[in-house]
């Protein structure tokens, strides 16, 4: 009998075992890719959450887990929030109205500008690598359709510094 309860003949056991191992590896690889993307985009995700409402750190942690199924603990989120605050992308204020004081983070205008720019950059990259009919090579290919904003946009991408 297979892992899923199917009747398997002795001559076929090896094939079935191999098939289920492959499926398991694909799921693990998918999860690994998702976690890598999440780590790379964590600052964007936090800014996006804060754009909808001010939140404290624990709310951000639980929302990431509920939304993406990935756990980033306090040792990841709080240093990120502190770095974003130092750079002026978020501001914090202590909320003393509850039983327990909480530091609530809010997106600043500069943070909203960064969020908008980063979202535009991601859309551009996704279009570039995923649009059928467009070449997949470098950013400045000869036959890529150009918009009036494209040169300015590319210049901003090249000049931009990493968040952290």
93-122 pLDDT, tens digit per residue, is 999 998 899 999 999 999 999 999 999 998
- The pLDDT value given to residue 153: 45
Domain ranges of the chain: 1-40, 42-159
Average pLDDT of the residues in 146-151: 42
Q: Is 132 left (phi over 0), alpha (psi -120 to 50) or beta?
A: beta
Structure tokens at 100: 């327990």
Confidence grade of residue 12 (pLDDT, cut at 50, 70, 90)? low
Question: How high is the pLDDT of residue 157?
Answer: 46
Using one digit for the tens of pLDDT, what is the confidence trace for 30-76? 888 888 888 889 999 999 999 999 999 999 999 999 998 889 999 99
Q: What is the mean pLDDT of the chain?
A: 78
- Binned at pLDDT 50, 70 and 90, residue 151 comes out as very low
User: Looking at the domain that runs over 42-159, which CATH code has it been given?
Assistant: 1.10.10.10
Per-residue confidence (pLDDT) for residue 7, from 0 to 100: 59
Q: What percent of the chain has pLDDT over 90?
A: 46
At 139 the pLDDT is 43
pLDDT above 70: residue 159: no
């Amino acid at each position: 009998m297979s892992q899923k309860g199917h009747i398997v003949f002795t001559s076929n056991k090896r094939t079935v075992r191999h098939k289920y191992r492959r499926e398991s590896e694909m799921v693990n690889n998918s999860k690994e890719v998702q976690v890598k993307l999440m780590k790379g985009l964590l600052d964007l995700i936090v800014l996006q959450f804060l754009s909808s409402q001010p939140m404290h750190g624990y709310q951000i942690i639980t929302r990431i887990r509920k939304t993406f199924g990935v756990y980033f603990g306090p040792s990841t989120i709080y240093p990120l929030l502190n770095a974003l605050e130092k750079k002026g992308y978020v501001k914090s204020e202590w909320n003393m109205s509850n039983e327990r004081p909480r530091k609530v983070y809010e997106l600043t205008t500069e943070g909203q500008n960064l969020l908008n720019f980063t979202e535009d950059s991601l859309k551009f990259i996704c279009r570039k690598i995923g649009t059928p009919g467009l070449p997949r090579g470098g950013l400045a290919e000869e036959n890529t359709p150009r918009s009036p904003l494209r040169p300015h946009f590319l210049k901003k991408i090249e000049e931009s510094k990493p968040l952290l």
